[in-house]
Amino acid sequence: MDPARAAALLDFLALADRLKTVERRGLVPLPGGGARRENSAEHCWNLALIAVLLHREVAAEIDLGHALSLIAVHDLVEIEAGDTYAYDPAGRATQAERETAAAAIVFGALPVDLGRTLRALWEEFEAGATPEARFAMGCDRMQGFLQNVLSDGAAWRAHGVTRADTAPRMDPAMAVDPAFATLIGALYGRARAGGMLPE
C-alpha cells in the first residue's frame, strides 16, 4: 500500500472514531440503576448484531456483508451533522440538508475511490431502494425502539412521545417483513404493558 494512502486511511479511521462521541437520545440502563445516553457507535454495533440475527429470518435474500456495510456507514455523517432525534420535527426538517453537507466532509476525507464507495453506501441506505437497504432500515428503526423499551421509555416520556408519534417511523419498518412486524409488535406490547408509551 502506498504510504500516502495508508496515512489517509489511518486519518479517516481517527475521524470515524469520533462517532463514539455523538450522543443519541436513547438511554442505556446501568447495572445498579441509573442510565446514560447511548452513543452512535454503540447504536451501530447493536444494529449490526440485530442484522446478523435477523438476516435469515426475513423472506428476502439478504447479502449480509452488504447489509453490514450499509450499517457501518449509515451514521458516519453524524460526526459532522450530529444525531437528529427521531421525534424532533424541527431537527428532521433540516436533517437531509445538514447530513448531505456532512457527507461531503466525511467521505471527502478518504481517498477518492473509497470516498465514492462509502458515499454510495450511505446514499443507498438513505434511499432504501434495495432489499439490503430496506432490511438495514428495519434493523435501524427496531434498534432505536428496543433501546427505548430497555430503558423503560425514559426518553419517550422526557419528550412527550406517544404511540401515534411512533407510527410514521415504525410502520415502514414493520412493513419490511413479517419478522419485523412480529418483533416490533412484541416491543409495542411490552411498551404498553409497562406504561412506557401513552396512546
Judge whether 198 lies within some domain. no
Residue type, 25: R
The predicted pLDDT at position 59 comes to 97
Please give the Cα distance from 95 to 64 (Å, whole number). 28
* Dihedral sign (CA 79, 75, 36, 46): negative
pLDDT per residue as tens, the chain (199 positions): 999 999 999 999 999 999 999 999 999 999 998 999 999 999 999 999 999 999 999 999 999 999 999 999 999 999 999 999 999 999 999 999 999 999 999 999 999 999 999 999 999 999 999 999 999 999 999 999 999 999 999 999 999 999 999 999 999 999 999 999 999 999 999 999 999 998 8
Judge whether 67 lies within some domain. yes
* Distance between start and end Cα atoms, the chain: 57
Please give the Cα distance from 162 to 110 (Å, whole number). 41
The predicted pLDDT at position 199 comes to 83
Query: In terms of residue numbers, what domain contains 131?
Result: 3-193
Number of domains within the chain: 1
Judge whether 199 lies within some domain. no
E strands, 87-190, in order: none
Output the pTM of the full model.
0.96
Within 10 angstroms of residue 178's Cβ, the number of other Cβ atoms is 13
CATH of the domain at 35: 1.10.3210.10
Judge whether 81 lies within some domain. yes
Judge whether 134 lies within some domain. yes
Judge whether 97 lies within some domain. yes
The predicted pLDDT at position 126 comes to 97
* Dihedral sign (CA 189, 194, 196, 199): positive
